[in-house]
Chain A
Amino acid sequence: MSRAAQAVILLLLGGAVLKASLTDLHLRYVKEGLRPFLLLAGAVLVLTALFTLWYDHRPRRSPSTPQPTPPPEPGPLAAPDPFAGADPFSMPDSRAVPDSRAVPDSRAVPDFRAVPDFRAVPDFRAVPDFRAVPDSRAVPDSRAVPDRLAAADHLPAPDRLSPRSPSSPSPDISDLSGMGELRHADGASDGPDDHAHHEPRVGWLLLLPVIGLLLVAPPALGSFTADQSGTLPAAAESDYGPLPEGDPVPVGLLDYASRSIYDDGRSLAGRRLELTGFLSIGPDGGPMLARIVVSCCAADGRPIKVGLRGGPVIDVPGGTWVRVTGRHSTQRAKDPVNQADIAYLEVEQWQPITPPKQQYE
């Protein structure tokens, strides 16, 4: 997958995330609180795509092209250091390349004095290797060489000059050298070995969430989950305050179930209540009102169910959203799936409604 293709996929993904978070679509999948982060993440994805395209297509100054033979890459501890010496003058650009900078720095700078200590510890032998050669693919190679100096010597200079060579250290060296080579060592332009390593083919999978968000846009969890999972055990609270004013007063399903089961409906007594949810079929075949409770995203969604009894016959199919007005009932049932208590509501009237914007509780 070339960088341009990756950029397009990132653009699509970022666009899909932005679209979902700007519309109500994201409410089907996550909590509303995530929205600012989604907007930010979508913007970063779009920016990444734009920067990738921009850096890819902008005309290149190529100051390192005239450089006929790249200076040999000495081991970090090797003494004569043509790279560090000549570098600032002859290839000004490569100074800006972070990795190539890191090399001269680390050579001259105190932090490398730490290396002998590190090496005293058996496992730590790996660390200098990592540092000397940013690319991990070199690690097995360099481990095979007992000493670090040897490891650095072992990186063959000719490789740099023949970037099509499939041998693995070549991109590493390019990493450390000037820009001209780097264009060379780019996966998109190199041999099959580099190709496989440079271009995350797994990135194609990112098309799936794009399809999911832009083309399919699956609905919020509903009656299938309600049928498959047991009702959420109502949470016991120490103190159930009085319900707010209003007649009928709107109550959430989870709140209703908790007040009914743990407070014996004391705070519900004598009030007309309004519950909203979708219809589901109860253990006894009777109608139940259900809603999915989501704490983070739909993957952790669990249903809360309230049984309905009495009132006008409910003759709409399961999954239909309804608003039910009624009074507290002392009837109880057990959810067959997880043996949790289900509270009941004595229905006075009900009406089908359009699904609310926020379908989760």
Chain B
Amino acid sequence: MTLLKDPPAGTERRGIGSVEVLAAVLILLVIFRGPLSGVVSGPRLQTWTTVFVSVLVQAVPFLVFGVLLSAVIAVFVPSSFWARALPRRPALAVPAASLAGVVLPGCECGSVPVAGSLIRRGVTPAAALAFLLAAPAINPIVLTATAVAFPGNPEMVLARAVASLAVAVLMGWLWLRLGRADWIRLPHRPHHDGASKGEAFWSAVRHDVVHAGGFLVLGAAAAATINVVVPESWLQTLASYPILSILALAVLAVLLSICSEADAFVAASLSQFSLTSRLVFLVVGPMVDLKLIAMQTGILGRAFAARFAPATFALAVLAGTLTGLVLL
């Protein structure tokens, strides 16, 4: 009993600590509100702030819905469900999970916590990772957006679906061969310490929003910086070299970190680039970008992100280029 009495006191002590810090920060912010908005006055900084805020505002609903879905998986779906729903052989579970990603409309911001949740619930990491890659890249919303953005090139939709699906499945299989479970370090989720599923659910939501949201902020800041700093005229110069233009757009997709629902419109507007290089842009973007890398680092661990992101990037560039050569 004494054992149990002590820690709650500790909880309070430390809890008040960070709440106090928070209160102090907020009071300072309100006091210095005038000078603060004065700082954000130069056009460049103002544009940075606008892009930063808008990336976050755009991502928040997808993040919240993704987190809700992942909390449902974590709390309400029993592990036995996944054992029954997915083929037992991991090599078959990978394509099955990729196809599940096609059906579930989700943004990349939401799919990272969902994948983390799936791994927690005993789904083979390879299948969860295939889902992570497939869900944002080839769901119905994204494919429709692509069709709208490329009215003259319907083959672009097919090419995007084929290339993205191929990358997701291949990455899953690659993980089966080379992946190691100890690369993945899921953050300790606050044990469902309540008496009810309700409490466990909200605790999971709270933890994932704060965790994934924090990394989303990092990614949004990086994307806003690139958006403001990289002049468009550089891209113009690159567009005239066929191979360089593919690599340039692949890197741009990583740096810009545009939501997969929107990237087709951006790709369409990069009209000086070849269709193949724009396809690579569309295949890489939803699978590897700054905010995704930040979130994967946070949710699946640094050792994981450091290996997974470059491998996915290389495979996505390759698959995009090959598909482009065949289909476009």
Contacts and interface: CB of A to CB of B under 8 A. Distances in A.
Nearest to A66: B1
A232 interface: yes
Contact of A218 (B50, B206, B261): B50
B266 A295 contact: yes
Interface stretch (B96-104, B131-139, B189-197): B189-197
Nearest to A114: B83
A224 B47 contact: yes
Interface stretch (A1-9, A150-158, A278-286, A321-329): A1-9
A5 to B, nearest CB: 4
Interface in A4-49: 4-10, 12-13, 17, 20, 26, 28-30, 34, 37-38, 40-42, 44-45, 47-49
Contact of A209 (B4, B56, B78, B301): B56
A298 to B, nearest CB: 4
Interface residues of A, number: 126
Interface stretch (A96-104, A256-264, A308-316, A346-354): A96-104
Interface stretch (A82-90, A134-142, A266-274): A134-142
Contacts of B205: 44, 48
A349 to B, nearest CB: 29
A188 B47 contact: no
A219 B53 CA distance: 10
B57 A228 contact: no
Contacts of A195: 14
A130 B236 contact: no
A44 B64 contact: yes
Contacts of B80: 105-106, 109-111
B7 A163 contact: yes
The B contact surface, by secondary structure, is helix
Contact of B10 (A42, A111, A189): A189
A355 interface: no
B58 A29 contact: yes
A20 B58 CA distance: 12
B73 to A, nearest CB: 11
A102 B210 contact: no
A211 to B, nearest CB: 6
Interface string B204-233: 011101110111011011011001000111
Contacts of B181: 123, 125-126, 129-130, 139, 143
A29 B202 contact: no
B144 interface: no
B50 A298 contact: yes
B209 A198 contact: no
B88 interface: yes
Given A29-B58, A34-B58, A212-B52, A339 B88 contact: no
A297 B257 CA distance: 12
A130 to B, nearest CB: 6
Nearest to A319: B43
Contacts of B184: 136, 139
Nearest to B80: A111
Interface residues of B, number: 122
A212 B49 contact: yes
Given A2-B19, A130-B120, A299-B51, A187 B188 contact: yes
Contacts of A117: 88
Contact of A9 (B22, B149, B194, B256): B22
A296 B124 contact: no
B233 A206 contact: no
A135 B189 contact: yes
Contact of A52 (B122, B200, B206, B266): B206
B217 A135 contact: no
B84 A111 contact: yes
Given A299-B58, A299-B258, A203 B188 contact: no
B191 to A, nearest CB: 4
Nearest to B10: A189
A157 B179 CA distance: 31
B7 A338 contact: no
A205 interface: yes
Contacts of B328: none
Interface stretch (B33-41, B243-251, B274-282, B312-320): B33-41
Contacts of B265: 295-296, 300
Contacts of A77: none
Given A65-B4, A184-B4, A96 B15 contact: no
A230 B207 CA distance: 42
B44 interface: yes
B61 A34 contact: yes
A52 B211 contact: no
B119 A130 contact: yes
Contact of B210 (A6, A96, A110, A221): A6
B56 to A, nearest CB: 5
Given A30-B57, A206-B214, A224 B43 contact: yes
Contacts of A20: 57
A226 to B, nearest CB: 11
Contacts of B25: 207
B153 interface: no
20 contacts: A4-B18, A41-B63, A55-B202, A102-B78, A111-B84, A137-B185, A174-B191, A182-B193, A186-B190, A195-B14, A202-B215, A203-B214, A218-B50, A219-B50, A233-B271, A296-B58, A298-B54, A299-B58, A300-B258, A340-B271
Q: Which 5 A-B pairs have the closest CB atoms?
A: A296-B262, A202-B214, A126-B181, A29-B54, A182-B193
Given A188-B10, A221-B47, A297-B57, 15 more contacts: A1-B18, A4-B15, A38-B57, A44-B205, A51-B206, A93-B195, A98-B192, A109-B80, A130-B119, A130-B120, A200-B207, A206-B213, A228-B232, A235-B151, A295-B262
